[in-house]
């Protein structure tokens, strides 16, 4: 799970990053609204955590822009103010959940687990698209029409999970590289192509009709035209 945290209070943010990384979330952190907004609309995150009061652009405005771009990533708002007004504005802006500071770590983690289940729209930990299913705990890819299955490597799994979560959309190589390898990684676009070809081989191994189509000069899209 790749998580975006936009929070300007340095100590708070540092503590949160540490806790979240211990829980195996990959976290990118920004301290101002401008960079936070740019990261949020890159559509490479599974969950976005926004502080409300931020320099330049506030959390509510970021949430609004994310939704205006058609990005459905779950958003958790953090705020120091307990007023009901904030709560209403937060939900209006497109935020999915709301946590008042100070909060318990346990509470935050529970909310994140609930949001990540919602993010993947999972039923019994199985993602599905076209004629394939993907088990989110065993990483097993299956074709439902012939019952063939194969286990994916972690990277192959993340690629397919990301494509399924964004079905109907073309994902660029840049989005895939950052999503799978991270902002600071030196993964080159070659890596994306290499793992994309591994993932395609797994799809043809199970004889799925679902395909990863390359859109020339743009990126990749999951398609299942013939079911």
Applying CB under 5 A, which residues contact Ca ion?
8, 51, 53
Quote the least distance from Cβ 36 to Ca ion, whole Å.
11
Please identify, using beta-carbon distances, which residue of 75 and 141 lies nearer to Ca ion. Answer: 75
Min dist. Cβ of residue 27 to Ca ion (A): 17
Q: What token pair was written down for 112?
A: 């994140």
Closest CA to 62 of 83, 90, 85, 86: 90
Please report the DSSP string for 38-72 in residue order. Answer: HHHTT---SEEEEESS-SSS-HHHHHHHHHHTT--
Q: Which is nearer to Ca ion, 30 or 162 (CB)?
A: 30
Please say which residue, 9 or 97, places its beta carbon nearer to Ca ion: 9
Cα separation values, 59 from 35, 91, 101, 111, Å: 12, 12, 14, 18
**Complex with Ca ion: residue 99 or 170, whichever CB lies closer:** 99
Q: Give the shortest CB-44-to-Ca ion separation in angstroms.
A: 23
To the nearest whole angstrom, how small is the minimum distance from the Cβ of residue 43 to Ca ion? 24
Q: Which residues contact 97 (CB under 8 A, 6 or more apart)?
A: 74, 75, 76, 77, 111, 114, 115
Determine the Cα–Cα distance for residues 212 and 210; give it in Å rounded to an integer.
7
Indicate the residue among 80 and 183 with the shorter CB distance to Ca ion.
Answer: 80
Q: Provide the minimum distance between the beta carbon of 78 and Ca ion in the complex, in angstroms, as a whole number.
A: 8
């Amino acid at each position: 799970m790749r998580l975006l945290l936009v929070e300007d209070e340095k100590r708070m943010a540092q503590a949160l990053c540490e806790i979240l990384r211990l829980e195996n979330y990959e976290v990118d952190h920004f301290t101002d609204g401008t960079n936070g907004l740019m990261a949020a609309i890159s559509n490479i995150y599974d969950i976005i955590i926004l502080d409300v009061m931020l320099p330049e652009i506030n959390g509510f405005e970021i949430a609004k822009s994310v939704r205006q771009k058609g990005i459905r990533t779950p958003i958790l708002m953090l705020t120091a103010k307990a007023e009901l007004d904030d709560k209403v504005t937060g939900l209006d802006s497109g935020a999915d959940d709301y946590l008042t500071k100070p909060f318990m770590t346990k509470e935050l983690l529970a909310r994140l687990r609930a949001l990540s289940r919602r993010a993947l729209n999972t039923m019994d930990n199985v993602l599905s698209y076209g004629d394939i299913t993907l088990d989110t705990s065993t990483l097993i890819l299956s074709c439902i029409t012939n019952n063939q299955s194969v286990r994916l490597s972690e990277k192959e799994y993340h690629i397919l999970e990301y494509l399924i979560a964004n079905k109907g959309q073309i994902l660029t190589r840049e989005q895939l590289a950052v999503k799978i390898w991270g902002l600071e990684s030196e993964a080159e676009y070659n890596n994306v192509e290499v793992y994309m070809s591994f993932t395609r081989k797994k799809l043809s191994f199970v004889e799925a009709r679902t395909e990863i189509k390359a859109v020339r000069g743009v990126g990749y899209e999951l398609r299942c035209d013939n079911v």
